[in-house]
Chain A
């Protein structure tokens, strides 16, 4: 009986979203807002259905619905089927939850827009595609919705009269298609090597049939590495990883709620894909190392470019790129469940920020003194108390966290490089955030310091316990989690280097800021100062990647036209 309910819910949730899109789109113009509001109930129902699925899946295990014969997947080129496990259920809940808020917000936000109906229908349709994607029963169906999503992103740009919006939408579509092509090649290779696109069967065959491919003479790679590498390029596109991140800033002309959905749901597709195929990725340390490098690079570049932007949407956009880099880096370290936890937390946070973004822009247009500049008050005085609090939070608490994770949570830190690296990255980023706050708001008050410390401790430990519980929920088998960490292990020298560098940078940053706050002069060679200014310009211009993209585009166009002229065409 309960299984029937689960099966029904699995089919009803996407149908509700499709019906919502239909209700908004089909029919005359007059009662459009009544229908838009009616559709909101369906989206909310889909959210409740997703919660129901999550609850039932937790107790009953995964559910599979197939409308094809799995023995001959290519009898239908597009085999429609659903596979909902805990990962899918979590993603469905996140997507429908965020979508409900975004949809309700949009009905008011887009009230005066002439094309609000199309916009709202597209939002519902995107939700439908996302839900079908995360609950796909096989790799082919996942790819189908993956590609439709690429086109929906083009349509969601909405204001297609505006040339810059149109250019951004075109760039989004074409860059995503590049990644999609690699994904397609990955699927074809997976089928050629293992003869199936069904998830569980694919994992079993890949584990049972080790295959070596010879790409070039003397260059052999394993079948799983080749497949996962191609699929990873597909994930890079959707998750805006360097150098395929260019589409995200270009798409920022779309209405603000679209960004809330994009940054909370769509962009997580890469992380979802890696998690969905975790057993396959867990067989290839090479791909995981590539993911680690790409993720780290994207995180560093995204965060740095974010700091140099002077536009709130671009700042948030690059912040997302940085966070996605972080998420992919976590996948590269074998911390798959942490990546999902991260994408949920980031999705909720970024959706909230983006939905508020419109108000901030509106307010800034109305009030000349907004946003306030606090920098004038900076350096008002040095407070020992504030800096002691900063010292405790940045240098003492991390040690405490290490002890707790190792002792109380019994995470085997010595055997798990990934966890250590992630903890060190958390240390660097939280230190940076705390030091910035300490610098800007130097309030010498015991109350503030105590509250700050307690809050920080509370958040950190709740976060750690939540992550640990979430890992146990998503991957109930601890050996599986350990095996992913093991596959992702870096060479010892590199691991040591990363740890030492992270610690060195944190301590050095602390000392530098402390000395500056104390009014000490720090001697800096002139060339470093000049590089700092140049780098600022480079990052302000987003490392000139857009210009490079344009240059490559125009060079290709020139080459194409030259070839066209050289060829004595029949039509001349």
Chain B
């Protein structure tokens, strides 16, 4: 009885919050607060019942991270009536996400399909002249929906391949990454910082189920695709001048590295969830930080026209630079811990592959550092009005930084029971390098 009750409540709390939001629709502040409170209750609930939930192969970490990301994204958005929809939708997405992660029957895939359909609808409705409608992105989610539906209807191996296509849409992998990038750039209000965590962790969750049943030939193709995607993401990020695209492509590069590790190990471990969660959180944090700039200087402001924030906005500068460090994989933050954890425990399937993965990892030091440097340093512009972080913005960014720090420093057995390979196993695995 409890087994059925707990997952329904995990999904039900955010949905209830979304419904209560409707009751206070005329008051944006209350809608925002309700979104935050519902997310906090979700987190508290998950913390309380985590030991009663079955542990999936990728661990329970995503269940903790999703409400945190929801709080962060809602907090980072200023109070305005235009943002009410995004706060309510954050709760709906959180509920659907929880349902996908906790359910054990066909409810999960159905929730996933619903989630992608809602995103497709929102992408169809929300576009501006700066960010015109992207049929490629909507089509990409269409592939995801078709894949999820096929995986429900067909038997193996078609269901596995179809499921993999859905995972590639959610945990972005070239050439299915358009959906993720479109969602990141076009979705309204607080949704992008939440979606960059939600979609990848759901993709990884699917991958954890699908990958062990994949034929070796197929996995080899996925590995090659992942390496190409990692380089592609890094190159595209290097070429971008728009922050959202830069951050988006950068995260595609990191998620592709994750794909490569998962394909090499034939499974998605809790360490893979650390990397997915940390990259998602860091990307979300950077988007919230960019939102702060957009709030002050207009939507899609050219980052090259802003400089000298370090002297004028010290709180923002410290948190933004810490987020930048986390996003480029510098210790002691979660991205480094996830990457290093996979590197140490999942033996790389090839030396060339490792070289490419390290190159993509290294490239982040260029494009993210350049972005951080551009905004924070340089001469202060006399014609710009500088205003440091407001309390909610500060809290939002601080939560991300602390969560990333916790992901980097906490022992993995806090959110996963699996142990690292013992010493003898490590010596045996060394043969993998003999190629």
Contact = CB atoms under 8 A, between A and B. Distances in A.
B395 interface: no
Contact of B331 (A75, A78, A214): A78
Given A76-B409, A564-B236, A161 B378 contact: yes
Contact of A191 (B134, B235, B240, B426): B426
B351 A174 contact: no
Contacts of B347: 192
Interface stretch (B4-12, B86-94, B160-168, B335-343): B335-343
Contacts of B341: 74, 77
Contacts of B330: 147-148, 151
Query: Most chain-B Cβ atoms within 10 A of its Cβ — which of A195, A212, A213, A223?
Result: A195
Nearest to B131: A571
A170 B331 CA distance: 19
A481 to B, nearest CB: 30
Contacts, number: 140
Given A194-B426, A567-B236, A188 B377 contact: no
B236 A223 contact: no
Interface string A88-123: 000000000000000000000000000100000000
A78 B378 contact: no
Given A78-B408, A151-B325, A174-B369, A192 B378 contact: no
B8 to A, nearest CB: 34
Given A77-B412, A166-B378, A189 B358 contact: no
A170 B373 contact: yes
Interface of B: 134, 136-137, 178, 181-182, 185, 232, 235-236, 238-240, 245, 308, 310-311, 325, 330-332, 336-338, 340-341, 343-345, 347-348, 351, 354, 358, 361-362, 365-366, 369-370, 373, 376-380, 408-409, 411-413, 419-420, 422-427, 429-430, 432-435
Contact of A570 (B181, B308, B413, B426): B181
Nearest to A556: B238
Contacts of A223: 430
Q: Which DSSP category, helix, strand, loop or mixed, fits chain A's interface? A: helix
Contact of B433 (A68, A75, A192): A192
A524 interface: no
A195 B427 contact: yes
Q: Which DSSP category, helix, strand, loop or mixed, fits chain B's interface? A: helix
A184 interface: yes
A185 interface: yes
Nearest to A160: B377
B426 A78 contact: no
Interface residues of A, number: 53
Nearest to A196: B423
B263 to A, nearest CB: 18
The 8 A-B pairs of least Cβ separation, nearest first, read A195-B426, A564-B239, A160-B377, A77-B337, A195-B423, A570-B136, A177-B365, A74-B420
B424 A195 contact: yes
Given A78-B332, A209-B427, A161 B380 contact: yes
Interface in A527-572: 557, 560-561, 563-564, 567, 569-571
A181 interface: yes
B245 A571 contact: yes
A160 B310 contact: yes
Interface in A42-88: 68, 71-78
Interface in A340-394: none
Contacts of A569: 236
A218 interface: no
Nearest to B369: A173
Interface in A173-200: 173-174, 177-178, 181, 184-185, 188-189, 191-196
B363 to A, nearest CB: 10
A14 B240 CA distance: 41
Given A166-B373, A215-B351, A76 B411 contact: yes
